[in-house]
């Protein structure tokens, strides 16, 4: 069931918008996940999809923190976000 998850990284914004729209063709719900600096791109992609292309989508947001291992042996905290876009029942 991983085909309904879009992981956001450093690609151009519209790449993720198209990935979300493609996933929404097959699914009723898509999760957009990102961490660190990619969070703003994930929010932009979700909002562009909701406001310009697939109106009537509902969204819920979960935020959190992950510990990542560093090369020097320590750990650091990285912020994470998961935006769930779902088709509203009347759509």
Where do the structural domains in the chain lie, given as residue ranges? 2-87
CB atoms within 10 A of CB 41: 19
CATH architecture of 2-87: 2-Layer Sandwich (3.30)
Q: Write out the two tokens for 17.
A: 């918008």
- Please tell me the distance from the alpha carbon of residue 31 to that of residue 87, in angstroms, as a whole number: 12
pLDDT at residue number 26: 86
Given a cut of 80, whether residue 58 has pLDDT beyond it is: yes
Residue 1 banded pLDDT, cuts 50, 70, 90:
very low
For the chain, the average pLDDT equals: 92
For the whole model, what pTM was predicted?
Answer: 0.89
Percent of the chain residues topping a pLDDT of 90 = 82
- Which pLDDT tens digit goes with each residue over 25-41? 988 999 999 999 999 99
């Amino acid at each position: 069931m991983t085909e309904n998850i879009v992981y956001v990284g450093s690609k151009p914004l519209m790449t993720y918008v198209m990935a979300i729209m493609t996933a929404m063709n097959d699914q009723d719900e898509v999760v957009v996940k990102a961490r660190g600096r990619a969070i703003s791109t994930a929010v932009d992609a979700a909002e562009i999809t909701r406001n310009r292309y697939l109106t009537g989508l509902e969204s819920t947001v979960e935020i959190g923190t992950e510990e990542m291992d560093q090369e020097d042996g320590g750990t650091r905290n990285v912020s994470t976000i998961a935006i769930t876009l779902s088709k509203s029942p009347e759509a």
